[in-house]
Amino acid sequence: MNEYSDEQLMALVMKQDVAAYKVLYERYKRSVLGLSYKILGDKAAAEEVMQETFWRIWHNAASFSTKRGSFPNWMFGIARNLSIDIVRRGQKIKMQALPDMHHELVESSAQFKADHNVADAAMMIFRHEQVHLAMTSLPEEQRNVVEWIYFQGKTRRQISEEHNIPFGTINTRARLALDKLKRALEAQGFEE
């Protein structure tokens, strides 16, 4: 089952396949732990978030949909939200037992530190998907201006000349797009 994609494994988890669930757990437990630790700064709380994240994956597998994003995006979103909830409330979460599994401690401090790099990469992927989703909600004219400025590195003056659009219109579209993006990202819990 190790060769199965995340989506194939989740299809099996939706049918209560414990073996598929274990593969996902082994594949992502360190990444989730690292991400949670990065947010919380507390090893025990990060372990609790990791356990709760996988408990929710097991019990809420039917809510996963590839139409709304990738499995890692969904999973890291769960872990991130749990971690942020703990920070906001200043409390621990009640741990739930995982199906047919035992709680594992962090194997070594060196591995735990290596997982922070994985957590950074996971957070970057998660944020990239959040921005991409927010970009798709923009009207085409505004989305184009944002892509030209921020992804192609063009100045507003260049855009105006290349596309024969008044300079003031470019400024207005950019301002409206950034306002909408900010609101959409804030609604997703994007912070920075």
Tell me, what's the pLDDT at 80?
A: 87
Q: Where are the alpha helices (DSSP H) in the chain?
A: 6-13, 18-40, 43-59, 71-89, 109-136, 140-146, 156-163, 167-187
Domain 6-108 sits in CATH at: 1.10.1740.10
Local confidence band at 172 (pLDDT 50, 70, 90 cut-offs): very high
Structure-model confidence comparison of residues 96 and 191, the more confident one: 191
Three-state DSSP class for 14?
A: coil
Residue 146 · residue 174 · CB < 8 Å: yes
Tell me, what's the pLDDT at 188?
A: 66
Tell me, what's the pLDDT at 192?
A: 52
pLDDT tens-place string over residues 35-93: 888 888 888 888 999 999 999 999 999 999 888 788 888 898 899 888 888 877 765 44
Report the percentage of the chain scoring pLDDT > 90: 30
Three-state DSSP class for 119?
A: helix
Distances in Å between the Cα of 42 and the Cα atoms of 48, 86, 91, 154, 172 are 10, 11, 12, 43, 45
Of 124, 125, 28, 37, the residue nearest 87 (C-alpha): 37
Tell me, what's the pLDDT at 101?
A: 41
Tell me, what's the pLDDT at 104?
A: 43
